[in-house]
């Protein structure tokens, strides 16, 4: 392709505070419409907002965890626009003095590391939600407004236009999600809209420095939609440019069903919003000491956790990256190792059978029917030789449905590995007697023929014979 794609993301994340940003209303998701509202978040005249301190704390932590500088003097501004989901007719946000600026996070795409710069992180309030009577706004006779979400605290994380592909944009958003989960400031449930992105995409001829004209796709709330929207938009813009056309700066909407982006409206500029300082809220002053205390309170972050898993526990960079990509899976892994399981085996089981079962049943790891303790116990049974890893798969499948400890399951199903020499040798002799051809092949120098015999012995023992002993005893009896 003769164009280079340039991508920048604005990620909105709802903060997991109990109450809204400027009033005491609850932030609980899924409550009955318009039950979590008050004069402040409804924008009635004569009331004053007050900043929720937790919001400032969470925003500062997000800034520190993404390498930002915290602005010790920060303020709120009004972003003015009209829409039914915005009862005040302005959104209280931050304009020229955001809480955090100039950060950077590292991403890894196919082993290729890259730094993505953050322009800023600012705090703002969420708007309400339109509830349409039909499936979409276009085929609805009427729409209701639910103001429960009005005033739910958000941070907006704005990146520099540093990404060059859908894969990089995805890796960046995954990293931001992981960081927010680790520092525990957002639930990051994308399907509930806790985390959503506006995607800005432009093309430029390869080698050109100047940025091309961009389009923006708003409120993308899944990783698949993010990649699909970017890839579609790159192709669409390339076609326009190839045909000698120009890209119009506009806001487009992504239709995930059809996988296409559609023009919505021409893009507004900052001056369209008539930003002005928020007169009802004092500036936010943060001291060096407070910032240091927040810094000290941060937990281990994803990159540090991945480095620990590699350096201290011997995992590969790939495995460490997958395991630490979410806080829940990192915690699950740590708990499995703490139970006494070997780290590499634990990683293999988590990324293998556990991930497969979770996926198939649509369950998240923290709700896994096989918890870290039981997985750790099962891995120890394999390490001790009580069961082989192949039998481990059977035990794991049973554990998925059966809450018993793995040791009991192994006993109840009669899966204990056979390590009794005499018992295995009896099967070996029988197999040798029954398989003249393989035996003759082996004896005439085709050492590979032993594979078929091992298979027969394992089958006859229902997979329970210790494989290493089977190999040794077969070799011994064939030589003899």
- Which of 6, 21, 23, 203 is the binder for Zn ion (CB under 5 A)? 23
Cβ proximity of 340 and 373 under 8 Å: no
Report the greatest alpha carbon distance in the chain: 99
Q: Which is nearer to ligand ADP, 203 or 415 (CB)?
A: 203
Least distance between ligand ADP and beta carbon 218 (Å): 10
Asked if residue 38 binds Zn ion (CB under 5 A), the reply is: yes
Q: From the list ligand ADP, Mg ion, Zn ion, none, which binds 8 (C-beta under 5 to 8 Å, kind-based)?
A: ligand ADP
Residues that bind ligand ADP (CB under 6 A): 6-10, 158-161, 200-202, 211-212, 214, 216, 270
Range 350-353, long-range pairs (CB < 8 A, 24+ positions): 350/323, 350/375, 351/319, 351/322, 351/323, 353/393, 353/396, 353/397
Q: Which residues contact 251 (CB under 8 A, 6 or more apart)?
A: 215, 216, 217, 218, 264, 265, 266, 267
Q: Which is nearer to ligand ADP, 7 or 410 (CB)?
A: 7
Asked if residue 41 binds Zn ion (CB under 5 A), the reply is: yes
Asked if residue 166 binds Zn ion (CB under 5 A), the reply is: no
Asked if residue 55 binds Zn ion (CB under 5 A), the reply is: no
Least distance between Mg ion and beta carbon 10 (Å): 5
Q: How many CB atoms lie within 10 A of CB 215?
A: 21
Residue labelled with tokens 């109450």: 19
Can you say how many angstroms the Cα of residue 267 is from the centroid of all Cα atoms in its chain?
30
Least distance between ligand ADP and beta carbon 161 (Å): 4
Q: Which is nearer to Mg ion, 10 or 331 (CB)?
A: 10
Q: Which is nearer to ligand ADP, 158 or 387 (CB)?
A: 158
Least distance between Mg ion and beta carbon 237 (Å): 17
Q: Which is nearer to ligand ADP, 11 or 188 (CB)?
A: 11
Q: From the list ligand ADP, Zn ion, Mg ion, none, which binds 23 (C-beta under 5 to 8 Å, kind-based)?
A: Zn ion
Q: Which is nearer to ligand ADP, 56 or 118 (CB)?
A: 118
Q: From the list Mg ion, Zn ion, ligand ADP, none, which binds 160 (C-beta under 5 to 8 Å, kind-based)?
A: ligand ADP
Least distance between ligand ADP and beta carbon 170 (Å): 15
Q: Which stretch binds Zn ion (CB under 5 A): 36-44, 300-308, 332-340, 387-395?
A: 36-44
Least distance between Mg ion and beta carbon 185 (Å): 22
Cβ proximity of 144 and 131 under 8 Å: yes
Residues that bind Mg ion (CB under 5 A): 10, 198
Give, as ranges, the residues between 383 and 412 that touch Zn ion (CB under 5 A). none
Cβ proximity of 1 and 237 under 8 Å: no
Q: Which is nearer to ligand ADP, 27 or 119 (CB)?
A: 119
Can you say how many angstroms the Cα of residue 12 is from the centroid of all Cα atoms in its chain?
15
- Rounded-to-integer distance, Cα 183 and Cα 54, Å: 13
Q: Which stretch binds Zn ion (CB under 5 A): 21-29, 96-104, 206-214, 384-392?
A: 21-29
Paired strand residues for 106? 115
Least distance between Mg ion and beta carbon 216 (Å): 5
Q: From the list ligand ADP, Mg ion, Zn ion, none, which binds 9 (C-beta under 5 to 8 Å, kind-based)?
A: ligand ADP
Least distance between ligand ADP and beta carbon 448 (Å): 58
Positive or negative torsion for Cα 80, 84, 85, 88:
positive
Asked if residue 127 binds Zn ion (CB under 5 A), the reply is: no
Q: From the list Mg ion, Zn ion, ligand ADP, none, which binds 202 (C-beta under 5 to 8 Å, kind-based)?
A: ligand ADP
Cβ proximity of 250 and 266 under 8 Å: yes
Paired strand residues for 199? 9, 217
Q: From the list Zn ion, ligand ADP, Mg ion, none, which binds 6 (C-beta under 5 to 8 Å, kind-based)?
A: ligand ADP
Residue whose CB is nearest to ligand ADP in the complex, by number: 8
Q: Which is nearer to Zn ion, 25 or 438 (CB)?
A: 25
Q: Which is nearer to ligand ADP, 119 or 194 (CB)?
A: 119
Cβ proximity of 48 and 22 under 8 Å: no
- Rounded-to-integer distance, Cα 59 and Cα 340, Å: 37
Q: Which residues contact 276 (CB under 8 A, 6 or more apart)?
A: 77, 78, 80
- Rounded-to-integer distance, Cα 38 and Cα 27, Å: 12
Q: In 267-415, where do the E strands start and end?
A: 276-277, 284-285
Paired strand residues for 465? 418
Least distance between ligand ADP and beta carbon 58 (Å): 21
- Rounded-to-integer distance, Cα 270 and Cα 276, Å: 11
């Amino acid at each position: 392709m003769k164009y280079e794609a340039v991508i920048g993301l604005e990620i909105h994340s709802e903060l997991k505070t109990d109450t809204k940003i400027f009033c005491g209303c609850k932030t609980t998701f899924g409550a009955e419409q318009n039950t979590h509202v008050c004069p402040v978040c409804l924008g009635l005249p004569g009331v004053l907002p007050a900043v929720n301190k937790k919001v400032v704390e969470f925003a500062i932590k997000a800034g520190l965890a993404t390498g930002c500088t915290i602005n010790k003097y920060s303020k709120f501004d009004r972003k003015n626009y009209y829409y039914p989901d915005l009862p005040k007719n302005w959104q209280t946000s931050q304009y020229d003095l955001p809480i955090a600026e100039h950060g950077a996070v590292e991403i890894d795409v196919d082993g290729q590391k890259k730094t993505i710069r953050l322009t800023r992180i600012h705090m703002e309030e969420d708007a309400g939600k339109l509830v349409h009577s039909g499936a979409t706004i276009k085929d609805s006779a009427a729409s209701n407004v639910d103001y429960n979400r009005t005033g739910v605290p958000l941070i907006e994380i704005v990146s520099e236009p540093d990404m060059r592909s859908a894969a990089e944009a995805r890796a960046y958003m995954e990293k931001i999600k992981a960081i927010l989960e680790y520092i525990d400031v957002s639930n990051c449930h994308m399907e509930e809209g806790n985390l959503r992105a506006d995607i800005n995409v432009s093309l430029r001829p390869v080698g050109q420095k100047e940025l091309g004209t961009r389009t923006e796709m708003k409120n993308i709330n899944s990783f698949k939609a993010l990649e699909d929207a970017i890839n579609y938009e790159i192709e669409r813009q390339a076609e326009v440019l190839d045909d000698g056309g120009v890209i119009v700066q506009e806001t487009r909407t992504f239709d995930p069903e059809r996988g296409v982006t559609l023009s919505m409206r021409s893009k507004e500029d900052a001056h369209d919003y008539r930003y002005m300082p928020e007169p009802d809220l004092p500036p936010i002053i943060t001291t060096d000491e407070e910032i240091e205390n927040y810094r000290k309170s941060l937990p281990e972050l994803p990159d540090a956790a991945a480095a620990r898993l590699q350096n201290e526990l011997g995992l590969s960079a790939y495995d460490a990256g997958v395991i630490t990509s979410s806080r829940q899976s990192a915690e699950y892994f740590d708990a499995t190792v703490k139970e006494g399981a070997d780290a590499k085996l634990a990683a293999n089981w988590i990324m293998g059978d556990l991930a497969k079962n979770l996926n198939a049943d649509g369950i998240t790891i923290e709700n896994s029917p096989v918890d870290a303790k039981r997985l750790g116990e099962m891995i120890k049974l394999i390490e001790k030789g009580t069961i082989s890893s192949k039998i481990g798969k059977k035990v794991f499948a049973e554990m998925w449905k059966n809450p018993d400890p793995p040791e009991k399951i192994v006993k109840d199903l009669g899966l204990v590995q056979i390590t009794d020499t005499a018992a295995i040798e009896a099967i070996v002799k029988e197999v040798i007697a029954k398989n003249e051809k393989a035996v003759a092949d082996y004896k005439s120098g085709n050492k590979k023929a032993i594979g078929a015999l091992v298979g027969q012995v394992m089958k006859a023992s229902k997979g329970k014979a210790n494989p290493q002993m089977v190999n040794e005893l077969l070799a011994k009896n064939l030589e003899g």
